[in-house]
Amino acid sequence: MNARLPPPRLPLRLLIAAPRGFCAGVDRAIEIVERALERYGAPVYVRHEIVHNRYVVDALKAKGAVFVEELDEVPDGVPVVFSAHGVPKAVPAAASARGLDWLDATCPLVSKVHRQAERQIDAGRHIVFVGHKGHPEVIGTFGQVPEGTITLVETVEDVAALPFAADAPLAFLTQTTLSVDDTAAIVAALKRRYPQIAGPKAEDICYATSNRQAAVKAIAQACDLMLVIGAPNSSNSLRLVEVAERLGTPARLIQRGSEIAAEWLDGVETLGLTAGASAPEALVREVVAALGQWREVEEETVVSAEEKMIFKLPRQLVA
């Protein structure tokens, strides 16, 4: 009697979202640390993770970067870089007071929000800020203006609970890495309750966040499962998981290819793959290789937008 052969493994159709991975702000931040190491030599200190990705952080550590959470952990006489998420004004002021050489790797699109906050306060308005409590970008933005002049909202329900009168002088700003759909609902609620509220001329959610969410929307409904490469503390990566799930597609956040379990592919004919703005393309290729352990992979890249944004480096690094 012949033994029954196992059924043939079907090829795995892999839809890879584009744009994905590094944005211009992340590219710039990493290059700042690398150029600082070339110019000053190791160690170069970095306050907070330069971007929210362990692979990137570990690669920079291997080159001589030292990551700390607070400025008082930085010894005298060494350069320090501030992360892409932005820092309160008090941080560079304290660095200057100590005579430290410091470099600001804040994403220019986050810096734009900081300047908008200053202008709204100068105009006599109280700021309602849409964001996630405790996120470094939120902490950095709050630190641009006097205490008590900015209030955080995270949900439509938070808008309903605001204590301001209907005619109060208000402005709204948002974190750059939020859900496009959620933020639109919160802003709509703000405008209904406070019709005179001032807002930015263009939305604060950055182009990369918007593009990566749109890229997921373009493929999610054709997929049985969506994998998002990103860190658990990466706001923009978490939003990509939510986008897929809201379209009815199960989604998992992973940091490395080694986290994938074979059983995840049971019943999956079409798999979607994307990467948050802090995840390098090397991790995308690592995930594709990991999938190849179990199935023949047929890749297809689905392009929904082209990105050509480039940000200038700090003048200290280009002289």
Q: Supply the residues annotated as catalytic.
A: 137
Residue 84: closest CA among 118, 60, 109: 109
Query: What is d(CA 279, CA 20) in angstroms, rounded to the nearest whole number?
Result: 8
Q: Residue 72: phi, psi to the nearest 5? A: -70, -5
Query: What is d(CA 181, CA 210) in angstroms, rounded to the nearest whole number?
Result: 10
Query: What is d(CA 283, CA 260) in angstroms, rounded to the nearest whole number?
Result: 13
How many other C-beta atoms can be found within 10 angstroms of the C-beta atom of residue 82? Answer: 23
Query: What is d(CA 20, CA 314) in angstroms, rounded to the nearest whole number?
Result: 25
Query: What is d(CA 49, CA 68) in angstroms, rounded to the nearest whole number?
Result: 8
